[in-house]
Amino acid sequence: MVRVGVVGTGGWGKNHVRVFNELHCLAAVCDMDQARADTFSKNYHVPGYTSLEAMLKKENLDAITVCTPATTHFQVATQALTAGMHVFIEKPMSTSMKDGEMLIEAAKSANRFITVGFIERFNPPITALKHMFSEGKLGEPILLEFHRENRRGLGISDVGIVKDASVHDIDTACWLFGEAPKVVYARVGAALAPLEHEDFATIMLGFSGQKTAFLVTNWITPNRVRTMSAVFSGGVVDVDFVTQQTSIHEGATTTVPTRPFQEPLMLELKGFVDAVGEKRQPLVTGKDGLNVMRVAEAALASSTSGTPVYLE
């Protein structure tokens, strides 16, 4: 059985603890907050630590997940790779391209893999949409339009919305189209306090041919919105990431497929555990994480200069 340690149990990390426990893979938790580490240790009957070094030394782990603030991802992941762990890093992979490149090299040197938490690849309607792209039944894919909107979450203060939230849709667009964009144009800004980082972004990604993705992300809208539309030459597919409802429009006909609701995080972390146990690369690679970071930084640079950034 694969043994996993969760580093960072606040915010999204508590969901990692819950899911790994359900998968019977939770072996230890680590959090700088002693009270929080003690609480999760008691509730889930696993050792709790406030020191990553101590956890890596004392526990016979196969892998860890990094659910700490983005500015700590590089340090925590590097330490774990050096100790021989496979590493799951919640998005963003790092806060800079340089750190991302160093993580990939560290993983290569350790003969371990890193993966990044791009959860939407595991969302059932997006998985189904990827099959539709491959099958080509709706013709050629042309446009993708994403809306990811809600008020800023508590504890998000070390990066802006592009590296925290837009990265999900950047990765989904690249995965669906099967390539990286060639040009990025964006406008970002800060509307609500605190104003240290951007809280809204509109990003255009130009891929090969006429394939284009539009991403609208903000921490201003009071209601939670997670939707996308995929326009093909022969139809349109609308997806709600939250309800997992899909509507397929072909001419005057609309079809709404039925499928059982599945928790994307459960599917994502089970995929991680399976990759560790089977000693194979995960669906999301470190290279994928680095590619998304490259696009995110290009979006920020485009907004600053007011001009498109060409990646090739």
Contact 125, 246 (CB under 8 A): yes
Q: What's the pLDDT at 262? A: 98
What fold does the segment set 120-262+294-310 form as a domain?
Answer: Dihydrodipicolinate Reductase; domain 2 (3.30.360)
CA distance 39 to 109: 36
* pLDDT value of position 255: 96
Determine contact, residues 236/245, Cβ cutoff 8 Å.
Answer: no
Quick check: pTM over 0.85?
yes
CA distance 292 to 228: 18
Domain ranges of the chain: 4-116, 120-262+294-310
What per-residue confidence (pLDDT) applies to 155? 65
Dihedral, 95, 97, 101, 107 alpha carbons, nearest 10: 20
pLDDT at site 312: 77
For every one of its 312 residues, what pLDDT tens digit does the chain have, with 9 covering 90 and above?
999 999 999 989 999 999 999 999 999 999 999 999 999 999 999 999 999 999 999 999 999 999 999 999 999 999 999 999 999 999 999 999 999 999 999 999 999 999 999 999 999 999 999 999 999 999 999 999 999 999 877 666 678 999 999 999 999 999 999 999 999 999 999 998 677 889 999 999 999 999 999 999 999 999 999 999 999 999 999 999 999 999 999 999 999 999 999 999 999 999 999 999 999 999 999 999 999 999 999 999 999 999 999 997
Region 4-116: CATH code: 3.40.50.720
Tokens of 40: 């999760």
- Predicted local confidence at residue 159, as pLDDT: 86
